[in-house]
Amino acid sequence: MPLVPTGSIVAGAHAAGTGAAAFNVIHLETAEALVAAADATGIPLILQISENCVRYHGSLLPLTRATLALAEAARADVSVHLDHITDPDLIRQGVEAGVGSVMIDASTLPYAQNVETTARLTAWCHEREVFVEAELGEVGGKDGVHAPGVRTDPDEALAFVAATGVDALAVAVGSSHAMRERTAKLDLELIRTLRDKLPVPLVLHGSSGVPDDELRAAIEAGMTKINISTHLVSVFTDGVRKVLEADPALIDSRKYVAPAREAVRSEAARLLDLLGGAGREKEKTSGEAP
């Protein structure tokens, strides 16, 4: 089907009170697995390509074009998003290539500079009908350090959204990037406050470290876009490791990558049901006779 705008996926989830799943692409095999999961469940999915991923591959276009092609061929609604982009040139390249959204990450800059940079790039993206996410301050753990004490101030967040015109805001509510254990405890009351105060959907980064029940509780409290990367990377790596441990002499990479890809497809499908399937349950419940 035609490529779906990220904004429509986020808006649909926001209106339904469900989660908009956003899973990171690391290489072609993970992109294939994620699209297969979306097709199997019929639940919309946002495919994310980060600046770190671009650096790994050496350039933005090859993987981005391949991911766009997979999204366009999907039976489910799939969009492509650039994640944690600090380089304006990469934003321009991605938008020109056809991505539907970008996360402008000027969060490490002083507040005034963050606002100015984000507002300028947001205006440029909006002229091209591209959905924009941003981050105020830093969600903890960007270098793998668990920083659960970081929190978003609701008043500052409201001022930031008004000054920049962004379409969604990543907020710090207790999650942390690159967590390998799913032990994070979220500040649900802060999520409710931010939901009530801000006119845009909320984004949860560092969701790999959040247990299933906390993710569902976060969505019920008002979180919309749910980013997951490290957890699915671990699933892929564990799949490769199991095959190679069972057959150390194996040299055909397809024979150990294919099972890892299937493991990611299976777990991604489970997560899609967890995050995006809640709305279906609500619809079934509301449609039942009292």
Active site amino acids:
83
Q: How far apart are CA 91 and CA 85, in angstroms?
A: 7
Phi, psi of 33 (to 5 degrees): -65, -40
DSSP state letter for 105: -
Nearest CA-CA partner of 99 in 140, 119, 69 = 69
Q: How many helices (H) and strands (E) does the chain have?
A: 12, 8
Answer yes or no: are the C-beta atoms of 74 and 35 closer than 8 Å: yes
Distance, C-alpha 213 to centroid of its chain? 18
Give, in order, the Cα–Cα distances in Å from 230 to each of 8, 39, 233, 240.
26, 22, 5, 15
Q: 112 Cβ partners below 8 Å, 6+ apart? A: none
DSSP class per residue in 135-181: ESS--B-TTS---TT----HHHHHHHHHHH--SEEE--SS-BTT-SS
State how far the Cα of 30 lies from the Cα of 17, in Å rounded to an integer. Answer: 27
